[in-house]
Structure 1
């Protein structure tokens, strides 16, 4: 079978690639980096190393690559594929919509009854595949959309694997954590689909997506923002501090209470899931920089993302939100000068005030009870951060 994967970054090579390779897919990466493209074409394989004591390594074989700028070649690859996947970031899906539309168009032209094609956006968010569909379909003719409804599917998915930014002499080598999880909404698949080894197909995807987003992503960024306030450089250093660990655990206990109530989860099993996720954050074989995990605070503080959304839902259910409020306040303090969103956030606070930012960026009106609590906690966190950080502010930024 053939797969086309958009994105030859660490997630694409370190997560999606190995799973598809284990299911005997030939993988064509669609990428921008000329060096990676030429290496993938020449070598046809690359190493993936697990971040464990023995550094177990496997070769992902039967791979090649094409340049995203060569739309004809990309379209031809899609026309011949059984599966299309992405790992490029939700905001970049718009950039590949035309290539996918041209591939679908070419596929439909080649035969009256093309083989089924599944297009799966393996992104860190909710409803990525359907969002991609909404970007692709307007680029198709009405007659093509009708046929695509029959032969092309965009099932939503949830993916989870931590792959930090890293540098190796081999531009294709990638190190990943041993844990990984890939869940696909079964109802979104076309009849007779071939299962991918290691992927779980479920009737209801929402519980898995929210459990992951509001445990792994919420916990990870909370550790980063709390750690940044205390002057740490890596997630591992921050979590090693019992104070930070308990702050993060407090956040996850609050999201856990919300998730358990909303999705009728087994509370004991979810507690075990939380502890397992916290253990992942402490992996001593990784150097996971806080500035990487904390980056793009405006996106992470948006109304439907990993901090504000669970806080609003928990509050609506009458549940505790003290630790979530503290995490949101810590994110509002994040001021790393090399992060464009952090700079924009701090400029907005200075220009308009914290109340304006909470209402306009976080989407929490000043009439909502969480608004004043976040503002008060921000003032407290900002004062504490400034008093501790001023002596070595230049070295930190």
Structure 2
């Protein structure tokens, strides 16, 4: 029999999606599930974006430019200017989701066996992207006791080798909800300048900053003109996950020219989704004000309910819509599967994301889960109650 590639064998399963078959089976058995495992907002997509697709007068659904339409990129640049990020449209390459933008970045700046330093826990698909690119992740652990703040900069310094090409952060963070401060960004800026590295920031949750905090982009650091690469997406900002439109942003012309070659190889980003995404840029600030208010209430509800459960430790998010909770169990993979297969409260159960898959260090995070608070407050209260009752009877 023909063999599967080593890369394919090493490709990790998604900790977010691998439990889907168990959830589907639970539904077939008549259970209702509160889905806390995936960052799919229930917030409605702006009508202006959906209407733009309906109103489009397209006779031929043609390819767009490989870097994305010029009008859309110009409007993205104007959007960034409103956030004190000064870039031009030709500093931007539109991608098929933020995922493709990150793959473009990896392909443009790293070769096989090169290294990238990432604070963990991190977005689980970073493991997959690195495997697909033949790149090695070098983790630096942030701790729940510190609310997942940036690890000491000395910890990064110790990990830098001749193979190190970049540091990658997610800000605000998935899965932690941590929002890096301006001071922390400047510490990272100093170390990448010192060692001539790239600093990649996944900023898809930029709008979601709470408690009076504001997001500070790596693109606001003028010293990083040749070092900064931003990954962005419309998925969470406008509740348009299915659009699959993102972008790579950098003022380093060599990065953009190289990433464009990868973009040309896949031809173009989706045309209709670009139309929707361009229109979404006209979404009024009131939309975001309402969304942020809703997420803050959901976060507070979730954290308050979790803190009532004996044995649970939880970090309080400053942004995005995720949190990490540490449970009194040995293996959250087994626990999450058991919740779907063998447990319910009045026919209802929950689906969570085991957090071990958000680390690359073996054995770390096995007693943690990621919760996405993308459900209404009433549903979150019911979901946490199910978790509480489950922990009373679960045996490792």
Query: RCO higher in 1 or 2 (8 Å CA, sep ≥ 6)?
Result: 2
The answer to whether the superposition gives a TM-score over 0.5 is: no
